[in-house]
Amino acid sequence: MPLFLIAALPFLGALMPGLTIRAGRSAYAVASAVFTALALFGVLQHAPAVMAGQVVTWRMDWLPQAGLALSLRLDGLGLLFAGLILGIGLLIQLYARFYLSPADPVGRFFAFLMLFQGAMLGIVLSGNILMMAVFWEMTSLSSFLLIGYWRHLPGGRQGARMALAVTGAGGLAMLAGLILLGQVTGSYELSDILAKGDLVRQSPLYRPILALILLGAFTKSAQFPFHFWLPQAMAAPTPVSAYLHSATMVKAGLFLMARLWPVLAGTPEWSVLVAGAGLVTMLLGAGVALFRTDLKAILAYSTVSHLGLITFLLGLGTEEAASAAMVHILVHASFKAALFMLAGIVDHAAHTRDIRQLGGLRRLMPVTFALALVATLSMAGIPPLNGFLSKELMLEQAAHAGTPVALAALFGAALSVAYCLRFLAGTFLGPERADYPHTPHDPGPGLWAAPALLVAVVIATGLFPMLLAPLAAAAAAAVTDVPQHLHLALWHGLGPAALWMSLGAIGLGLTLWGGWPRLSLLPAMPEAKTIYDLKIAALVALSRSVNRLVDHGRLAPPLAIASLTILDVGLWAFLTGSHTPGTRALTPLEPAPLAGFVLLVAATLGTVAFHRQRLLSLLLIGIAGLMISAFFAWAAAPDLALTQITVEVVTVLLMLLSLSFLPALTPAESRATRRLRDGLIAGTVGLGAAALTYGLLVRDFAFPTISAFHLANSKPGAGGTNAVNTIIVDFRGYDTYGEIIVLGIAALVIFALAEVLLAPGPANNRLLARRPDPARAGDRHPMMLVVVTRFLLPIALMVGVYIYLRGHNLPGGGFVAGLVVAIGFLLQYLASGHGWTEAHQRVNHHALIGAGVLVASATGIGAWLAGRPFLTSAYGYIHLPPLEEFEWATAAAFDLGVFLCVLGAVMLALASLSRLAQRGGERVAPRAHDVLSEEAEN
């Protein structure tokens, strides 16, 4: 199975809840699990090759000049993380099916879960660091949706916002670091970057790169001082917490540090920052966990501590420490996912997670107790469970790092033993209580099956440690770029320092647990969340005060501030910089262009002077647009002239139709002094823009312009002699593709606003009560105008088709053709009225927009089938007897999509205005010609 399909499967699975919306919770879970299982099967297909030391790759160039490529790679490190993401993801889906209530929107949950799973899988499979950054931000967004899934809970909403703010900000810092890394190495491909570690470490940009990338890793993996967001994410449903804390979100930062270990590690800066932050986080998380009373809070802070442990190992910078980190990533995922699920079972059964209200559940919930006992002892590092193996490796590496580090690691391990015992005893040990919030009992196998499988893994890999060795060794080899041979065992004799440190940690942990009554009297340390909330409140207060200074509910003040700032910066650059006089002579101005210029200035000034009279100002705007079209034609830009005049006609006609909803006069809102001030600012800024334009026009460029390239390659590269059209549909076709989608969205927004106005409510009542300012004319639809416009409609259709067909070689194209045809329909609305035109409308406008986007998309995807980048066009010559040989380009099909989308957008806007007009204004008797027309057609 190709890597591209493996990466795409979770995203395809995210569509299934929508397709199975009426099938029930089991269908959601099964549909999602099938796609996860298929992706896991695809990963396992490549496992033998990866374990043998090979790197499986897949690549498709997107924008090679900018280093953008859809590049995927699977090595030992990617295999470890992909297996965790998909394997534990399957168990989470099983658990969630039985955990979530029938009242919960389960389809939405599985859609969010699959989006998150796909984003995480994209991170670990990315072979391009820019693509990794894209998936990185996708995890922040999808985790925001998962953490805030229970939107009715304030804690869930706040936890989601906090996670998004912290990890999103860190992701932006990381992106800056990755861009700098690509600049230093000359490539954004991981395979190239990993081979240039010495170059990066010797670069003067190494420290900024390291700091920025570590900001992204530390925020994602909740390292000090960014650890506070992770415990707040426990407000999410337990399946989300189990997935985030064990195999996905928080492991992304660890993955990033491990992935770039060959490039960034091995320096004092790396050791101090990474190992130091990891050690502090390990101690801080374990210490806070000891004092928590909520089961999920204890587990959340324990996750922070274990993430610090792994970060500490990666920060030591040795191959043995990196191997130990890989082992603990595997071990931690197994027992932590099981413990979160078991905490959810307790909450599900007893209706509380507070250990002060629990205790004595070992007899009431024997299955849950047995599973929790094994998983908790593994987290504490007690043999013969797998947690003991990774703890021994950690302590051994800490012992080699010096006495202070070894003592700190020993104390962290002791705290881990203490909070594990408190978690276990506070929940299951002691006498049964009579005041449980709800009588607890073991659930059915649907809830405990998933944690039971993980507990089986904990036991099996503890008793048979070498089961972990091959995968951990392959991952460590990918991290260190050196083959690793791990030897894992429960007993290494009496010699290793780790044995005595482990015994000391267990003894000290028992002592701390025994002294809990006294420890509980210690004052609680201030929570980082409180500090975060205070900072956020201060920022909000500051922003509000600034907003009050610059924004008084009017658009003019902020526009004035922005315009004057731009003007001041430009003036400062002009006065302090060096510049030379222009080298190009001005074009002589002939009488006809001069007259047009005078008309343009007069129309502009008239619009400003008479802007309160809506109809007059609209006519003056039309004159200004017409003069601009004439200038384009005079300047040998017929395509621009044609586009400008059609856009102007459509805009003026649409605004004319809209004027019927507005008063004839705009009320005066500004005093004369304010208008004078605004006029001076606008005039000054306008003169500055004119000076800048003049400076550009009279100077030659010292470098080749892009226009020369387009003119030279229009025919040989795109098969068309009209450079403007080839730019739109070929050279910059992706821009046009995005623009037609935005245009369609804008039309849909107009339609949605019309729906709101037509719905019962205050806005609709005002629409029904609307009366025009002046009295209407006796004949609203003059016969001569009706006849002429209906005659013009087929002509407009024919001219539109003609302009579309000639556009690749002569002025025209799909955009202008769509506007010309739209003008023909617009005239029908103006002449015959909204009601008559809508009654004779046979084309679905939404379908036109959709068809346009689909045709344009199909044209772009067709290039993929030919092995070319998206929207790459092709052209050739066709001979169809008895016609002469003619040229045909695939860009014409793309242009057809533009035509359909433009026509559909304009017509949908018209239809929206039509419905409003019929609802609010056309409540008069039909005219004679309307009746005669209907009878003639019938």
Q: What pLDDT digit, counting tens, does each position of 372-381 carry?
A: 999 999 999 8
Q: Which helix (H) or strand (E) holds 886?
A: strand 886-889
Which whole number is the average pLDDT over 44-55?
91
pLDDT digits (tens, 9 = 90+) for 541-566: 888 888 877 776 677 778 888 888 99
Q: Write down the pLDDT at residue 279.
A: 92
Token pair listed for 402:
């010096």
Q: Write down the pLDDT at residue 310.
A: 93
Residue 840 sits at the vertex; the CA angle it makes with 743 and 746, to the nearest 5 degrees, is 10
Q: Write down the pLDDT at residue 44.
A: 93
Q: Which helix (H) or strand (E) holds 270?
A: helix 268-270
Question: Which residues are bridge partners to 128 per DSSP?
Answer: 189
> Helix, strand, coil % (nearest 5) of the chain?
75, 5, 25
Nearest Cα neighbor of 888 from 700, 719, 701, 675 is 719
Give yes or no for residue 706 having a pLDDT over 90: no
pLDDT digits (tens, 9 = 90+) for 850-868: 999 999 988 888 888 887 7
Token pair listed for 760:
């019962």
For 613, the 3-state DSSP assignment is strand
d(CA 927, CA 523) in angstroms, rounded, equals 86
Instruction: Indicate if the alpha-carbon torsion angle 757, 763, 768, 772 is positive or negative.
Output: negative
Q: What is the DSSP letter of 765?
A: H
User: How many Cα atoms sit within 13 Å of 797 on the Cβ side?
Assistant: 6
Q: pLDDT band at residue 925, thresholds of 50, 70 and 90?
A: very low
**Type of residue at 291:** F
Tell me which residue has tokens 């259709």: 797
Is residue 158 within 8 Å of residue 529, measured between CB atoms?
no
Give yes or no for residue 935 having a pLDDT over 50: no
Is residue 781 within 8 Å of residue 833, measured between CB atoms?
yes
Nearest Cα neighbor of 173 from 212, 204, 127, 227 is 212
Token pair listed for 526:
């201030």
d(CA 370, CA 377) in angstroms, rounded, equals 11
Which whole number is the average pLDDT over 158-179?
90
Give yes or no for residue 775 having a pLDDT over 60: no
State the burial class of residue 854 (Cβ atoms within 10 Å of its Cβ: 0-12, 13-18, 19+).
Answer: middle
Is residue 624 within 8 Å of residue 607, measured between CB atoms?
yes
State how far the alpha carbon of 306 is from the alpha carbons of 140, 281, 289, 379, in Å: 21, 8, 11, 9
Is residue 417 within 8 Å of residue 505, measured between CB atoms?
yes
Q: What is the DSSP letter of 871?
A: T
Q: Model's pTM, two decimal places?
A: 0.73
Biggest alpha carbon distance in the chain?
109
Question: What DSSP line would sit under 348-417, residue for residue?
Answer: HHHS--BGGG---HHHHSHHHHHHHHHHHHHHHT-TTSHHHHHHHHHHHHHHHT-HHHHHHHHHHHHHHH
The percentage of the chain sitting over the pLDDT mark of 70, rounded to a whole number, equals: 91
Residue 882: asked if its preceding bond is cis (omega within 30°), the reply is yes
Nearest Cα neighbor of 750 from 898, 909, 531, 557 is 909
Phi-psi sector, 795: left (phi>0), alpha (psi -120 to 50), beta: alpha
Token pair listed for 539:
């920022």
d(CA 218, CA 855) in angstroms, rounded, equals 45
Question: What DSSP line would sit under 312-363, residue for residue?
Answer: HHHHH--HHHHHHHHHHHHHHHHHHHHHHHHHHHHHHHHS--BGGG---HHH
Question: Which residues are bridge partners to 63 per DSSP?
Answer: 68
Give yes or no for residue 530 having a pLDDT over 70: yes
pLDDT digits (tens, 9 = 90+) for 241-289: 889 888 788 889 999 999 999 999 989 999 999 999 999 999 988 888 8
Nearest Cα neighbor of 70 from 873, 869, 871, 872 is 869
Q: Write down the pLDDT at residue 523.
A: 62
Token pair listed for 426:
């506070």
Is residue 46 within 8 Å of residue 79, measured between CB atoms?
yes
Nearest Cα neighbor of 244 from 169, 175, 149, 134 is 149
Tell me which residue has tokens 């209580």: 433
Top mean-pLDDT range of 205-214, 288-297, 423-432, 760-769: 205-214
Q: Write down the pLDDT at residue 446.
A: 86
- Of 71-80, 742-751, 771-780, 849-858, the range with the lowest mean pLDDT is 771-780
Does residue 270 or residue 869 have the better pLDDT?
270
- Phi and psi at 69, nearest 5°, equal -150, 145
Residues written for the chain: 938
Is residue 328 within 8 Å of residue 306, measured between CB atoms?
yes
pLDDT digits (tens, 9 = 90+) for 76-96: 999 999 999 999 999 999 998
Residue 220 sits at the vertex; the CA angle it makes with 61 and 301, to the nearest 5 degrees, is 155
Q: Write down the pLDDT at residue 787.
A: 85
Q: Write down the pLDDT at residue 527.
A: 64
Nearest Cα neighbor of 751 from 833, 820, 845 is 845
Top mean-pLDDT range of 206-210, 293-297, 484-488: 206-210
Is residue 901 within 8 Å of residue 853, measured between CB atoms?
yes
d(CA 81, CA 87) in angstroms, rounded, equals 10
Give yes or no for residue 124 having a pLDDT over 60: yes
Q: Write down the pLDDT at residue 115.
A: 93
Give yes or no for residue 936 having a pLDDT over 70: no
**Type of residue at 733:** G
Nearest Cα neighbor of 130 from 168, 167, 182 is 182
Tell me which residue has tokens 């050791």: 271
Residue 384: asked if its preceding bond is cis (omega within 30°), the reply is yes
CB within 8 A of 4, min separation 6: which ones?
58, 60, 70, 72
Q: Write down the pLDDT at residue 767.
A: 59
d(CA 660, CA 496) in angstroms, rounded, equals 89
Phi-psi sector, 808: left (phi>0), alpha (psi -120 to 50), beta: alpha
Does residue 423 or residue 248 have the better pLDDT?
423
Is residue 395 within 8 Å of residue 386, measured between CB atoms?
no
**Type of residue at 757:** L
Does residue 345 or residue 69 have the better pLDDT?
345
Q: Write down the pLDDT at residue 294.
A: 87
Q: pLDDT band at residue 930, thresholds of 50, 70 and 90?
A: very low
Gyration radius (Cα) of the chain, Å:
35
Does residue 558 or residue 172 have the better pLDDT?
172
d(CA 872, CA 889) in angstroms, rounded, equals 11
d(CA 12, CA 24) in angstroms, rounded, equals 19
Give yes or no for residue 923 having a pLDDT over 60: no
Which whole number is the average pLDDT over 358-382?
91
Q: Write down the pLDDT at residue 931.
A: 40
Q: Which helix (H) or strand (E) holds 69?
A: strand 68-74
Q: Please give the distance of CA 596 from its chain centroid, rounded to a whole number.
A: 48
d(CA 90, CA 30) in angstroms, rounded, equals 10
Is residue 744 within 8 Å of residue 852, measured between CB atoms?
yes
Cα pseudo-dihedral 696, 698, 701, 705, rounded to 10: 70
Is residue 35 within 8 Å of residue 12, measured between CB atoms?
yes
